[in-house]
Each structure stands twice: as structure tokens, then as C-alpha cells.
Structure 1
Amino acid sequence: MDPDRRITSLSAVPDDTTFLFTVRNADDERREAVLVRTPDGEVRGWLNYCRHLLDVRLDKGSGAPMRADELVCANHGAYFEADSGFCTFGPCEGATLESVDVAVDDGSVYLVDDDYTFVDTGSLDDGSPSASSTVEF
């Protein structure tokens, strides 16, 4: 795997919240994305924006709340399945988070989505790495 596309180690992706990172698209627009563990232990990547209002971030820098293997939008109360991104409850019920393709190889998580380039870990706001959080909902 290309070392420039390495996001983080697999062990840095928490079981109970998200890992925040920044990507750039072909138009040089930076976007936030999150890594989340699925119920079967795999890792999925999603853009860090609620489907109800696209300017609302799921992970505001300290990990997104999760409940029963679903990401929770703290602003709207929407629930998104960690493995499919499908909204099961809330104002955007039936919508799906935008995926960011990632792969795990030799204990690391890599960005493999041709639509994005990896920029850095952390948020757009401060560029600091995302830490595991104890956010509860």
C-alpha cells in the first residue's frame, strides 16, 4: 500500500466512537471523514457530515457518539448504521452517509478511494489528531 495514503494504525480506531481525518477531493476541497468499527470488527470510512443538514459534523473533534453499533448525530438524533451508513432513525431516515473507501493492510488503515487524497488526521479546524473519546449519548 502507498504510505502517503496511510491514515492510521488499526489499533488507533476505537471500538466505541470514531477516528477523525481530513481528505481532499479533485477540486482541492478539504472534507472531514471518520473511521468507524463495524459490529463484525471491520473498519468503514464515511464523510463526517449528517445527511439531514450537510454542514453538521458527526464527530466534532472528540469522537462521534455511538449507540448499539450506530453513529449518532448529536444535533438531530439521527442514527446511522456503522457498517452501511444507512440512517435508521431521525429526520433523514432512509438516507445513507457518503462513503470513503478504506482498506486494512498489515495493521494499518489506508485511504483507497480514488476520489480523495489523504491530508492529515484530525479536523479541518485545528489539524490535531483525533483521540479516542468517552463521549456518551
Structure 2
Amino acid sequence: MVRYRLTDIETVREEGVWLFTGRVGGGEEREIIVVPCEDDSADSDVEAWENRCTHEDQRLYREDVGAVVRDGSVVCPKHGSAFDSCSGGCDNGPAAGSTLPSVDVAAEDGQVYLTDDNVSYIHAGPSDDDDDDEPGSTSHLRF
């Protein structure tokens, strides 16, 4: 298994979400979020998910505001669907019943490593995509 060091666990915990850009399957660039996982039954201290809501393909982490993380969930800024940080599953709002696409990472000796054979690291931070798909929120939640 090939591993690529992404960041340290403390940075992910302090920031709440750490964003990087990767290439999935040798094709498209995708933004990926690394989030703390506080579930005692989880295999890792962090998990990684594609940075897109399953409902309307909206970014969960936006460069202008970051990501909203509440009670162990990443919240979609458009409709308020909340995705569990450890499982990626959503049980509320328009995305209920869906799960974020996962990216394999491992936490070891305080470091976070990309271990997904289908994803290659490009750079830290958002993609160079100029696509302005950041609509205003229609959620009942206030951020």
C-alpha cells in the first residue's frame, strides 16, 4: 500500500476540517475533506470524504467560510443536511439516506496519510476550479 502524508491529526482537530485536492481514478480533480472522527467504535481518529453534498453536488467546505461542523457532523450550507463525520451517512434533510463518497486515510503516530489506491494527491487546499457553484443557503439553519 502506498501512503502519502497529508497533515497531522492535531491540525485536523484544531481546524475542524482539512481540505486537499486529489485526482480520483486518474480522471477528474476532486476536493476532499479530512474530518475528526470522535466515535469510539471507529477505526481511525479521522475520516475523509469527497467535498460534495450528495443532494445537489454543492461543496461542503467553501473557501470563503470553511465548513460547518456541528455535533460530529458536516453540514451542507445549502439545505442543512448533516453528514456524520465518522460514517459519511446522512439521516436528515434532502440528502437523507445517502452517504458521502469515502476516501481511504489512515492515522498513525499523529499523522494523517492518504492510503486510497484510487486517489492521488495533487495539493493542499481547494481545486483550481473557477466554478462558482456556491449558491445562497435555503436551509432553516443559520451559520
Flag whether TM exceeds 0.5 (same fold).
yes
> Any idea what the Cα deviations from partners look like across 1:72-115, whole Å, max 9, x if unmatched?
00111111111101112110101000000000122210110111
Name which of 75, 84, 103 aligns with 1:81: 84
Cα deviation, residue 26, structure 1: 2.7
Runs of 4+ deviating beyond 4 Å: none
Contact 1:33 1:48 (C-alpha < 8 Å) held by counterparts: yes
Structure 2 counterparts to residues 1-137 of structure 1, below 5 A: 5-14=4-13, 17-40=16-39, 42-54=45-57, 56-61=58-63, 62-125=65-128, 137=143
Name the CA distance, whole Å, in 2 between partners of 1:69 and 1:25.
26
Equivalent residue number for residue 129 of structure 1? none
Shift of 1:39: 2.1
Bigger Rg, structure 1 or 2: 2
CA deviation after TM superposition for structure 1 residue 15, in Å? 5.2
Say how many residue pairs are matched: 126
Q: Give the drift of 1:119.
A: 1.1
- Structure 2 counterpart of 1:133: none
Give the aligned residue type for 1:39.
E
Bigger drift between 92-101 and 104-113 goes to: 104-113
TM-score, L = length of structure 1 = 0.83
User: How far, CA to CA, are the matches of 1:9 and 1:66 in structure 2?
Assistant: 19
Q: Which letter maps to 2:54? A: R
Q: Is the 8 Å Cα contact of residues 2 and 117 (structure 2) preserved in structure 1?
A: no
How has the CA–CA distance of structure 1 residues 43 and 50 changed in structure 2, closer, same or farther, with 3 Å as cutoff? same
Q: Which residue of 1 aligns with 2:135?
A: none
Over 3 Å counting, the alpha-carbon distance change for 1:39 and 1:107 in structure 2 is: closer
Look up the equivalent residue of 1:52 and give its one-letter code.
H
Q: What percentage of residue pairs aligned between the two structures are identical?
A: 41
* Gap runs ≥5 in structure 1: 127-135
Give the unaligned 5+ runs of structure 2. 130-141
Over residues 43-97 of structure 1, what are the superposed CA-to-partner deviations in whole Å (9 max), with x where a residue is unaligned? 000000000012x100012431011111100111111111101112110101000
TM-score, scaled relative to structure 2: 0.79
1:20 is displaced (CA, Å) by 0.6
